[in-house]
Structure 1
Amino acid sequence: MRLRHAVGATLGALTLLATVPASAAAVDGYATYAYGDSANPQFGKLDDIEGRMCIEIPEVESGKSVDAWKFANKTPSNVFLFPEAECQGVHTVVNAGGTPDSGVKFRSVYFAQTNT
């Protein structure tokens, strides 16, 4: 009787795991950007990146009056750069390994995670 319950519980757990959607997975590589005063810029780096999630650029979070720019995508994933927090606004696409036009400013990013 106990074996039957154990098997039933195991099968139930496996079924539950199979129905839960896959969570975001890490993206290989990193991305760099500049922020602050253009005459004396500071530089930031995103690594340990979670794909398929909106990532706020910490140095330019909502309420701060600076934007990030000079993005360099050193990942195998396409990236969407957003001019507003929470991945809002008209986005700019940066291909895997690429950079956007020099005038693109952003506050949040989304890695499409093309690597698996």
Structure 2
Amino acid sequence: MRFRHAVAATLGALTLVLTMPTSAGAAVGAFSYQYDDMSRERITVELIDPPSGPCITLPEVADDFVPPAHTPRNATDGPATVYSGAGCTGRQFTLRAHTGHGSERLEVRSVIFH
């Protein structure tokens, strides 16, 4: 009798775990980058809880005729791969979770969160 209760409790717990809502594929935390606007003022932008998986082209620097963003900082709970081109093309560099960062020389136009 106890074995059946243990099996039922285990199956019930497993069902509960499998049906619990998840974070909908978001990297929890903030990702920031900087860019220089047309008047050469340095602007810092933060992406809060960005979606994991899809390529995100940074809108301020999407076009090739503007200088790319730089100085990315990854404070999300997962790694982020930054790309030198829009649409996650060009040179790439992966930033660690929580502490990953790049210098002012690292050109960024798009990013994917893993």
| Global fold match (TM > 0.5) | yes
RMSD: 1.9
What are the ranges of 5 or more consecutive residues in structure 1 without an aligned counterpart?
1-23
TM-score (norm 1): 0.69
Q: Cα–Cα, structure 1 residues 104 and 63, in superposed 2: closer, same or farther, change >3 Å?
A: closer
Q: Distance in 2 between matches of 1:105 and 1:69?
A: 5
Q: Distance in 2 between matches of 1:94 and 1:48?
A: 16
TM-score (norm 2): 0.70
Q: How many pairs are equivalent?
A: 89
- 1:65 and 2:66 correspond: yes
Greater strand content: 2
What SS does the corresponding residue of 1:49 show, helix, strand or coil?
Answer: coil
Aligned-residue identity in percent: 28
Matched to 1:85, the amino acid is: A
What SS does the corresponding residue of 2:73 show, helix, strand or coil?
Answer: strand
The alpha carbon displacement at 1:47 in A equals 1.4
Which segments of structure 1 move beyond 4 Å, counting only runs of 4 or more? none
What SS does the corresponding residue of 1:70 show, helix, strand or coil?
Answer: strand
Q: Distance in 2 between matches of 1:95 and 1:44?
A: 19
Partner of residue 79, structure 1: 80
What are the ranges of 5 or more consecutive residues in structure 2 without an aligned counterpart?
1-23
Q: Distance in 1 between matches of 2:49 and 2:77?
A: 14
Partner of residue 25, structure 1: 25
Q: Distance in 1 between matches of 2:60 and 2:36?
A: 8
Return the match for 2:105 from 100, 103, 106.
Answer: 103
Whether the aligned pair in 1 keeps the contact of 2:79 and 2:94 (CA below 8 Å) is yes
